[in-house]
Amino acid sequence: MVTYRYLGDSGLKVSEITYGNWITHGSQVGDEVATRTVHAALDAGITTFDTSDNYANGRAEAVLGGALAGRRRESLEIFTKVYFPTGRLGPNDTGLSRKHIMESIAGSLRRLGTDYVDLYQAHRFDYGTPLEETMQAFADLVRQGKVLYVGVSEWTAEQLREGHALAKELGVRLISSQTQYSMLWRVIEGRIIPTSAEIGVSQLVFSPMAQGVLSGKYVPGRPVPAGSRAAESQEGARFLERFMGERTLTAVQALRPVAERVGLTMPQLAIAWVLQNPGVASAIVGASRPEQLSDTVKASGVTLDAQTRQAIDDILSGVVVDDPELTESMSFKNRLV
């Protein structure tokens, strides 16, 4: 079963494994399978669910809301996000303006079938909207009871610090930073993690298996497996392609004996590794079928000793990406519409 951690310096506990439905729900996976997978997550002790209004243009939220219908709301932590466009792509259908935030939360709550979300996250930094406007809108949603806590995703350390300070002035708890993090992608370690620790923010990390590369299923010199994300997903391609070089895939294969030595599968090792970082509250994982989760959740509560962590570092030396400047590469300097 999954264990739990506090999110930031708040009193909110989240499961160490968060179920995320980017790419899968409303697109790759049928609704009936998606519902069974959500129920499998609940049976495994996962109580935290992460989605976004732009995933499958709102369909992912709707599928998740339907799958959670009838469950005790107080026993769940439901997270969603705002920034990217949905709908007909009018001039205000993206970003973090007050207009877009207020309209987006209304749609998210309707699709999720709930009166509030536990965490509302700014999916990217909006260079076109004053940060004061964004944080005031978030603060108003908290006071209206539609949002309990506020988070961000892929903001730089400086943006995170400024947003946290504004939230504090407004009496709002900004407690999380959703970031990409894995054995191969460590760009948050240089600035994001230290800044977050200083201001009381936790990381919710996505792609802990580097879009499936750390599962070991991509073998250098062989065709990608049918049905894999590399074979089917266009949306995840830009995250995946950076890990598909022969040198990286060869190094990943060398991790297999390390995993076997500590009694873990390759996916379990990858997820357990990100959870060793005390700044990480939860690893966000997806699943296209229920049985995948029975393997994944076994990474919760695992402790990797120093020898194992050093062996991983030695094997991956030379293929790890750790330039902190790359955090800003995830942002969009111009709005999409």
Kindly report the length of the chain.
Answer: 337
Catalytic choice (4, 6, 55, 116): 55
* φ, ψ for residue 165, nearest 5 deg: -65, -40
Reading the block at residue 81, the tokens are 């996000």
Give how far Cα 41 sits from Cα of 77, 102, 119, 282, 296, Å. Answer: 13, 30, 19, 14, 10
Q: Outline where 227-289 has alpha helix (H).
A: 229-232, 237-240, 246-253, 256-261, 266-275
Residues 82 and 105: beta-carbon distance below 8 Å: yes
Q: pLDDT, tens digit, for every residue of 215-238? A: 998 888 766 555 555 445 555 556
335 in a domain, yes or no? Answer: no
Phi-psi region of 70 (alpha: psi -120 to 50; beta: other; left: phi over 0): left
Instruction: State how many domains the chain has.
Output: 1
Query: pLDDT tens-digit profile of 239-264?
Result: 677 898 899 999 999 999 999 999 99
* Percent of the chain residues past pLDDT 70, beyond the cut: 93
User: Measured between alpha carbons, how far is residue 175 from residues 51, 133, 148, 187, 310 in Å?
Assistant: 17, 19, 11, 20, 30
What are the tokens at 101? 């935030």
The residue with tokens 């895939």 is 249
User: Which residue in this structure is represented by tokens 């309209």?
Assistant: 103
Tokens at 4, concatenated: 């739990």
Q: What is the pLDDT of residue 231?
A: 44
pLDDT at residue 18 is higher than 70: yes
Residue 321, number of CB atoms within 10 A of its CB: 15
Residue 1 has pLDDT above 90, yes or no: no
Would the pLDDT of 26 be above 80? no
CATH number, domain with residue 177: 3.20.20.100
In a domain, residue 336? The reply is: no
Instruction: Assign 143 to helix, strand or coil.
Output: helix
Active site residue 55: yes
Q: Helix and strand tally (H, E) in the chain?
A: 13, 10
Condensed to tens digits (0 to 9), the pLDDT of residues 143-154 reads 999 999 999 999
Please report whether residue 337 resides in a domain.
no
Structure tokens at 333: 């300097």
Nearest CA-CA partner of 185 in 199, 203, 160, 202 = 203
Range of the domain at 210: 4-330
Residue pair 206/180 in contact by the 8 Å Cβ criterion = yes
Facing residues of 82 across strands?
Answer: 122
